[in-house]
Structure 1
Amino acid sequence: MNRIIALVITIFIMMLVGSSMIFIVDQRKYAIVFSFGEVKKIISAPGLHLKAPPPFQNVVYMDKRIQTIDNLEADRYITSEKKNLLVDLFVKWRIIDPRKFYISVRSDASLAQDRLIQVICAALNEEFTKRTVSEVVSNEREIVMKAVRKKVERDASNLGIDIVDVRLRRVDLLENISESVYQRMKAERQQVANKQRSTGAAEAERIRADADKQREVVIANAYKKAQEIKGNGDAKAAAIYANAFGRDPKFYAFYKSLEAYRRSMGKGDIVITDPNSEFFRFMKNPAGLLATPTSKRSKH
């Protein structure tokens, strides 16, 4: 009976020792094997592994997933204009060197986050003091984050940590300076708008002046061409008239007199003149000859 009890106890002890020599590494974890406080082995591959039983060897696990620091309270930073800003941010990080991480913070994630927050706040404060509110809020926000991340990565690497991302979630102005900053930004935008308007007005005036100049040139050329055509037409008409009426001067004189009668006397017009004047010579004589004084006396 005693032998059976001793055998059971022996088997139980062997099972305990055997179970303490076997450990499982999850795919989301790192495993560090220690021997009397000294790091002996780091395991990142998931699966079943063996070690010496305690107290000869122990295992510490670390999370290899990306972790986020997003429970920070908004902190106050000062810009180059001595304006206060409330900044809310978040940080994503992960462990890449378990040995350094354990040596630096004894595998305490909360202690690592506190160290990261101190480094990030110092880097943000350094960058904000170089810039104005407008630059931080809009123009150079991405540049600020790249500079902060570069500085934090240098210090985080000493902790065995990789900084995946640093982002400003919100940047708020204090209430007592919000209005003044808004008015200044409004004035800057108004100045840009006025400059654009003046440039556009000058360009429009230049285009109008050029169009007017071209219009005057076109009109002058058209008038010159029209006058040349009209002059050529008048010259040809005069030549035709001269050629036609030169063949019969008496008929030409008779025709011109009829035109004069038509222009000077309309319906209902009254003309007071000497009937023996030269103007009416064709009415008294179809040949247009005026009677001489001698001929009149000979008739009497």
Structure 2
Amino acid sequence: MSKAPFLLGAAFVAIVTGLSSIFIVDERDQVLVLQFGQVKQEVTEPGLGFKLPFIQDVVSYEDRILGLQTQPLEVTLSDNRRLIVDAFARWRIDNLIDFREAVGAGGVDAAQARLGSVVSAAIREILGSVPLNAVTSDDRTALMNRIRDIAGREAASLGVEVIDLRLTRTDLPDQNLAATFARMRAERQREAADEIARGNEAASRVRAAADRSVVEVTSDAKRQAEVIRGEADAKRNAIYADAFGKDPEFFAFTRSLTAYERALKSGNSSIVMSPDSEFFDYLRDAQGPQQQ
């Protein structure tokens, strides 16, 4: 009887057995070798690995940093305000054996669910101790680091490390938006009214100062005008006096003409006087009044 088929079968079994005892570890993974559900070997370096064929199983886990987006949750703050908050966490498997014992065959999906609960509890704990302005401020890094640290301590029992955590949403509940917007609008209107009042007060001060300046400038201008007018009148009178002093007859004549002009204007006024009054001397005699 030929031994060739037997040898061929034995070689086939040996090849299958050999191939079943070899596994490859990808550089992005880390591997546990399990025997009847118990961990027998942990492989974290990429390359070839060996196991007992048909008895031991190989389970691969991510060795990269993973992301977790939490579900939105409503949080009551220390000032009794309510916010809808969610977060994004970055984590990685830190201890593969503890991770397997904690999540079992559920793997990364089971870890995501449990880690989401841990992060949500940390968010409630930290945000429940601070007011609204601390959560909605531009710089809330310290707040997020506190949440990360608490979540990291709780997640250590799962064999994972929480690397970073960021609050991605901090919104008011829909039922509170209208009241909040109304309060913000009232505050802005109050601030606007204060600014308008301060502006009106400043405008009144400016107008009062301008009015005072107008009075002062006008008074000074009138005073200067009166001084100039007085000086001009004095100079005019001096010129008249000098001119009339040189010819008294001419001075008398011009004074009479001025008197005639003022007295004989058209109108309803009447003058009653004697015809031989000195007032009419220059009207009766073109040569002027006779020297006595």
TM norm. shorter chain > 0.5: yes
Equivalent position SS for 2:51: coil
Matches within 5 A, 1:239-250: 239-250=238-249
Structure 2 partner of 1:31: 30
Structure 1 partner of 2:62: 62
The alignment covers a number of residue pairs equal to 276
Q: Does 1:289 align with 2:289?
A: yes
Q: TM-score, normalised by structure 1?
A: 0.73
Q: CA deviation at 1:125?
A: 4.8
Structure 2 CA distance, aligned partners of 1:257 and 1:77?
108
Structure 1 CA distance, aligned partners of 2:41 and 2:209?
85
Supply the AA of the counterpart residue of 1:214: S
Equivalent position SS for 1:282: helix
Q: CA deviation at 1:258?
A: 1.1
Structure 2 partner of 1:161: 162
Task: Give the alignment partner of residue 78 of structure 1, picking from 76, 79, 82.
Answer: 76
Change (3 A) 1:9 1:156: farther
1:186-220 Cα offsets, whole Å, 9 max, x none, are: 43333322222222222222222222233233223
Structure 2 partner of 1:221: 220
Q: CA deviation at 1:141?
A: 0.9
Contact 2:122–2:150, Cα closer than 8 Å, also in 1: no
Structure 2 partner of 1:263: 262
Q: Which runs of 5+ in 1 are unaligned?
A: 293-300
Q: Which runs of 5+ in 2 are unaligned?
A: none
Task: Give the alignment partner of residue 44 of structure 2, picking from 42, 45, 60.
Answer: 42
Q: TM-score, normalised by structure 2?
A: 0.74
Q: CA deviation at 1:268?
A: 6.9
Change (3 A) 1:268 1:217: closer
Equivalent position SS for 1:67: strand
Matches within 5 A, 1:98-247: 99=96, 102=99, 105-106=102-103, 107-131=107-131, 135=133, 140-142=135-137, 146-157=141-152, 158=156, 159-168=160-169, 170-173=171-174, 175=175, 181-247=180-246
1:1-40 Cα offsets, whole Å, 9 max, x none, are: 43354245425533553465242526xx332355862664
Structure 1 partner of 2:84: 87
Identity of aligned residues (%): 22
Contact 1:281–1:288, Cα closer than 8 Å, also in 2: yes
Supply the AA of the counterpart residue of 1:204: A
Contact 1:89–1:170, Cα closer than 8 Å, also in 2: no
Equivalent position SS for 1:163: strand
Structure 1 partner of 2:4: 3
Structure 2 CA distance, aligned partners of 1:53 and 1:226?
119
Contact 1:99–1:160, Cα closer than 8 Å, also in 2: no
Supply the AA of the counterpart residue of 2:278: E
Contact 2:74–2:85, Cα closer than 8 Å, also in 1: no
Contact 1:101–1:161, Cα closer than 8 Å, also in 2: no
Supply the AA of the counterpart residue of 2:164: I
Task: Give the alignment partner of residue 51 of structure 2, picking from 50, 53, 56.
Answer: 53
1:131-178 Cα offsets, whole Å, 9 max, x none, are: 25xx37xxx4146953442122213443312224221253215x3x66
